[in-house]
Structure 1
Amino acid sequence: MKSLFLALSLLMLAGCTITRQANVSEVNATSGIVRLTWNQAMLQTARTDDYVAKGTATRECQQMGYANAVGFGQPVSTCSVYAGSLCLNTKITLSYQCQGMAIPSTTPTYY
């Protein structure tokens, strides 16, 4: 009986980690900052794929004329839904700095 309870407990804990897609929440062309966010519900451990998130940020940077994006700082967690003193939903924000200057492909380059 004890081993069954332990096995069920481990099975429940293993299913709590999910992968979320980080979406663009803020773009500042002047400072070259792109912020991506995703939501994490209570009792969940959500994560995002760093490669996909960097690709999303780089794509936004390239639309502003920069070459690529470099992540900076730590992820910032902010509680977005409260129930009394309990946080029901956490918004996690990643910040990227756009760097370099992209050369448009439509402009011919002569050497």
Structure 2
Amino acid sequence: MFRPLAALFFLSLAGCTITKNPEVTGGNQMMGLVQLGFDVPALQRARIDDYLALSTATKQCQNWGYDRAVRYGDPIYTCSVISGTQCLNESVTLNYQCQGVALPATQPVY
């Protein structure tokens, strides 16, 4: 009796989709590259708000003097915690390219 209930419980968890907010995890200011990342626990699927992720990358680019960020390439998936043959936690990295030159705000002339 316990095994079917446990199996049903774990299968119901496998269908869970969670929303993740990627954070800046790395990059290269000189090359204008920003990396955003987030972790996905075992038996879960993650989705991100693409607009929020682009906004986060753009803010980092603007801190470096660029105008905007553009996402490039596919997400990179890396298993960060392994137990036997099971991946218990997966790290996802998204890459963005900074583009353009941010113009400094002009001061009014009096």
Shorter-chain TM-score range = 0.7 to 0.9
Equivalences for residues 1-111 of structure 1 within 5 A: 12=12, 16-105=16-105, 107-108=106-107
- Matching residue's letter, 2:47: R
Q: Distance in 2 between matches of 1:27 and 1:88?
A: 26
How high is the TM-score relative to the length of structure 2? 0.83
- Matching residue's letter, 1:91: S
Q: Distance in 2 between matches of 1:73 and 1:109?
A: 41
Q: Distance in 2 between matches of 1:22 and 1:103?
A: 27
Give the C-alpha shift of residue 86 in structure 1.
1.2
Ranges of 4+ aligned residues in structure 1 off by more than 4 Å: none
Offset from partner CA, 1:36-77 (integer Å, 9 cap, x none): 000001110011110000000000000000000000000010
Decide whether aligned partners of structure 1 residues 14 and 40 sit closer, same or farther in structure 2, where only a CA change above 3 A counts: closer
How high is the TM-score relative to the length of structure 1? 0.83
Q: Secondary structure at the match of 1:58?
A: helix
Give the C-alpha shift of residue 108 in structure 1.
4.5
Decide whether aligned partners of structure 1 residues 109 and 95 sit closer, same or farther in structure 2, where only a CA change above 3 A counts: farther
Q: Distance in 2 between matches of 1:73 and 1:27?
A: 15
Larger proportion of strand: 2
Q: Which residue of 1 aligns with 2:4?
A: none
Q: Secondary structure at the match of 1:30?
A: coil
Give the C-alpha shift of residue 27 in structure 1.
2.3
Q: Secondary structure at the match of 2:53?
A: helix
Give the C-alpha shift of residue 85 in structure 1.
1.7
Unmatched segments (≥5 aa) in structure 2 = 1-7
Q: Distance in 2 between matches of 1:61 and 1:53?
A: 12
Residue identity over aligned pairs, in percent, reads 50
